[in-house]
Amino acid sequence: MAAPTETDVCIVGAGPVGLFQVFECGMLRMRCVVVDALDAIGGQCIALYPEKPIYDIPAHPVISAAGLIEALIAQAAPFRPDYRLGRQVVRLARDPDGRLRLATSAGDEIVAKAVVIAAGAGAFGPNRPPLDGIEAYEGRSVFYAVQRREDFRGKRVVIAGGGDSAVDWAISLAEIAASVRVVHRRAKFRAAPESVARMEALAAAGKVELVVPYQLHGLHGADGALAAVEVATLKGELRTLPADALLCFFGLAMELGPIAEWGLALDRTHIRIDPATCATNIPGVFAIGDIATYPGKLKLILQGFSEAAMAAHAMHPLVFPNQALHFEYSTTKGVQGLAA
C-alpha cells in the first residue's frame, strides 16, 4: 500500500469555492490537496451548467460558469495544488499527533493539519418532476442542466421553474431559440430581482412567454423526441405548449454522503459553522460555500469566496503553530514568489 500523502490542508470539493480556497491557502504558504467525486475540476459549474451566465462575480458583468472555473484554476495554479479527482473521502480519523487522516474511495490516504469541506451541494442530483414516462425523454429532449447553449438554437423551448437557473436561461436562450416559454406555479419568481426584471422586459417585448400560474402535467412525443408539454393550473385548466425541449430547474437533491458520518453538527444537509472562522464542531475541520450554514448565510459564490479567506487565516495557526501571521494585502506581497 502506498504511503499516505502529507499536506498542510486537504480541501474536499473542487468547485469554485474550493478552488479559491487553494489560492487563499497558497497566499499564506499552505500546501493543498483537493479531492472531488467528479472526474473534472469545477463542481456543479462544470457538471451542470458550464455555459450558464453568472452576473454577480465582482469585476465581471457576466461570465460563464466554465469561464469562471478556468480563471480560478489559473489563479490557483502558482501554488501547485494536488488534485485527486473521481473519488470520495470516505473516512476521517485523527492521528495520535493530532493530524487528520482521510481515506478515499480510490484507496489513497491523505494526512493533513486541517481539512476544508467545500463540497457545495454534497453528492447532488436533480429534483425530477413526477411526470409519467419522463425517463424516455431524459438526455434527448428533457434536460436538468444546459451543457451547450447552441444545442437549443432554433428550438421551441419550455423552461420549468422559478429560481435563478430558470430565469437566467430564459434570458439567455431568448436570443437564439425559436420560442421560450417559462412555466411557474405562481407569478412571483425567486430569482435575483434584476434578472426577473430583464425576463419580464423580454416577455413584454414578445420574446419570452410567461406561463403562470401553471405546473407541468404531461409530456407528448415519441421515441424520446418531445412534441409538446402539457401544463395545468391548480383548478385543472390545461394548456398544451409546442416544444422540442423541456428544461426542468427544480433544484438539486442534496446528500452529504460519507461526510454525514463524521460527527459534524448538521442542520439537515448543511454543516453548521462559526461564521467568524468557518470552523465546524470538529477541531481542525472547516466548511465553506453552499454546504456551510449560519445565521444570515447567503448562498452566493462571492460569499463562499469570503469564507475561503476567513478559513485560511483561521487555519494558519494549525499549520504553523509557532509562527505569527502578519496580515498583508496581495498587492504588497504578490503571488508568484510564494509558489516556490
Alpha carbon distances (Å) from 264 to 18, 191, 312, 314: 19, 31, 20, 18
Q: Specify the number of domains making up the chain.
A: 2
Q: What is the mean pLDDT of residues 54-67?
A: 93
Last residue of a domain, one of 192, 216, 248: 248
pLDDT band at 340 (very low <50, low <70, confident <90, very high): very low
Is the per-residue pLDDT at 327 higher than 80? Answer: no
Range of the domain at 272: 5-124+252-339
Say if strands 5-12 and 109-117 run parallel, antiparallel, or are unpaired: parallel
Is the pTM value of this prediction over 0.75? no
Q: What is the pLDDT of residues 271-286, one digit of tens each?
A: 999 999 999 999 999 9
Alpha carbon distances (Å) from 145 to 48, 197, 248: 5, 23, 8
Last residue of a domain, one of 200, 216, 248: 248
Grid-cell match 497558497, residue found: 26
What is d(CA 167, CA 171) in angstroms, rounded to the nearest whole number?
6
Same domain, 114 and 168: no
Q: What is the mean pLDDT of residues 61-77?
A: 95
- Three cell numbers written together for 94: 485523527
Same domain, 237 and 287: no
User: What percentage of the chain reaches a pLDDT higher than 70?
Assistant: 93
- pLDDT for res 254: 62
What is d(CA 191, CA 53) in angstroms, rounded to the nearest whole number?
14
Same domain, 307 and 234: no
Strand partners, 309: none
Q: What is the pLDDT of residues 127-170, one digit of tens each?
A: 789 999 999 999 899 998 787 899 999 999 999 999 988 999 99
What is d(CA 313, CA 73) in angstroms, rounded to the nearest whole number?
21
Last residue of a domain, one of 228, 248, 268: 248
Same domain, 118 and 264: yes
- pLDDT for res 167: 95
Q: CATH code at 68?
A: 3.50.50.60
